[in-house]
Structure 1
């Protein structure tokens, strides 16, 4: 098999917490440069409701809306009862890892999160087999990207989640129209510029998105465009660049599963993938 076969392909999903569409569009100059060069695509998506973090993590990683998953606010502290991309990957014999906020561990590994047990996770029986989780919302983005790269090099996971929190923290502290929020977005763009070339050279397929945006009240959760509109950048040889495709947040889980060649019944969007990608049958199984 070639390195770009779905059976051997590796996927990295970056969720930049709290980064709204317009700030991403205007501030992520490196990623926009890749788009201008025809090496990436940028789509504007609308996140689910309520536009809050824990419900949107569940939406992205399981393809299920909050009103159906039951994760409808940030205070619901329990394991997910949905099939996530981590579960799908592990069931298919693929390896998983995450450098992420501890709510990800609580949703898919163990709840409650106990730092002494869960901050550094290496357990092949868990949905997220290798993890470096953080529990301070001010955890620096450069540390988080280093955690992710350490996991990638050490374990070579087939699916890696990368989840920095800096934009969300800056938005809550200073608001949508602040230089602090915009400059945090620019800093994460610069950090991605350090790591993305190596990921792509290694043949990884990369998606960069956000869970929700931010409003002028230093908050989010409702229907305002600045709260709901989020970016999706796609990078890698398996992606097509149709230009006018419409992508929904609930389709990200299915897109990742398709990239990994895993059978599933999640919402799909084959338009963003190269035409050589296998089509799923009516039951969603490849």
Structure 2
């Protein structure tokens, strides 16, 4: 069985928009080649706190990363640190806050934008600091990392869905069309990822509201998708918490860890 994982975090993607607009992923669902679970994100429903939650399994109120303006390294074991310490290869094409949480803070673009350092938790990275950085380019960055370094764990984190939500709101054609565009980009890669032995998880940190923001407890801000694609998943009905994602990935990678995870989701 394969023990490599690609985790795609589509920033700001609301569950219902994923369900309604992402035709390729829904096509996989109809053919029973993927399963979609609803997840309720932790609070506050903000980006940096939830990157930390997804990648460490620790709730924001416990991690201390409780808003987007806290710029420091994580104080908890992450997928990256656990994988790196156990001899796995790690990579990320992601927003620069991920680099600040797990590699070096504050972000220094000339030093950190392109990372290739086996001593760091994220050994190979392409990090960006523009919210409008094209998702299409970000997926190319990720695929370059994957083909070049063949990571055991690859994080892919595009920002355009969130960016257009902040500009136009949840109930806008721009926001919905950005989700459709991400679906098209994913359709260009997923089959090859599976052929190359990766288990694929696609989720989001938080949703979006019609105030052009997020951060609170509205269902549209908290309900996010969790797609799983690959032979290592049972594809059975089960409940998944956002705090389970770190442990699920650690299990798939075959890591020793003490993170919570949903046993029902994973095949033996």
Asked if 1:69 corresponds to 2:56, the answer is no
Question: Residue 137 of structure 1: SS of its match in structure 2?
Answer: coil
| 1:45-95 deviation line (CA, Å, top 9, x unaligned) | 000000000000000000000000000000001011011000010111001
Task: Report the counterpart of residue 210 of structure 1 in structure 2.
Answer: 204
Shift of 1:115: 0.4
Shift of 1:203: 1.3
Asked if 1:245 corresponds to 2:262, the answer is no
Q: Decide which of 41, 48, 64 is 1:54's aligned counterpart.
A: 48
Question: Residue 253 of structure 1: SS of its match in structure 2?
Answer: helix
Q: Decide which of 178, 193, 201 is 2:195's aligned counterpart.
A: 201
Distance 2:150 2:107 in 1: 25
Q: Decide which of 159, 166, 171 is 2:153's aligned counterpart.
A: 159
Task: Report the counterpart of residue 123 of structure 1 in structure 2.
Answer: 117
Which 5+ residue runs of structure 2 have no aligned equivalent? Answer: none
Asked if 1:27 corresponds to 2:29, the answer is no
Shift of 1:105: 0.1
TM-score for both structures, normalised by structure 2: 0.99
Distance 2:100 2:235 in 1: 35
Shift of 1:206: 0.4
Task: Report the counterpart of residue 7 of structure 2 in structure 1.
Answer: 13
Question: Residue 99 of structure 1: SS of its match in structure 2?
Answer: strand
Distance 2:73 2:85 in 1: 18
TM-score for both structures, normalised by structure 1: 0.93
Task: Report the counterpart of residue 236 of structure 1 in structure 2.
Answer: 230
Shift of 1:263: 1.1
Shift of 1:29: 1.0
Distance 2:235 2:129 in 1: 37
Task: Report the counterpart of residue 227 of structure 1 in structure 2.
Answer: 221
Question: Residues 84-233 of structure 1 correspond to what in structure 2 (within 5 A)?
Answer: 84-233=78-227
User: RMSD over aligned Cα, in angstroms?
Assistant: 0.6
Distance 1:115 1:41 in 2: 37
Asked if 1:259 corresponds to 2:252, the answer is yes
Q: Where do 4+ consecutive residues of structure 1 move more than 3 Å?
A: none
Shift of 1:123: 0.3
Question: Residues 268-279 of structure 1 correspond to what in structure 2 (within 5 A)?
Answer: 268-274=261-267, 276=268
Question: Residue 220 of structure 2: SS of its match in structure 1?
Answer: helix
Work out the number of aligned pairs and report it.
268
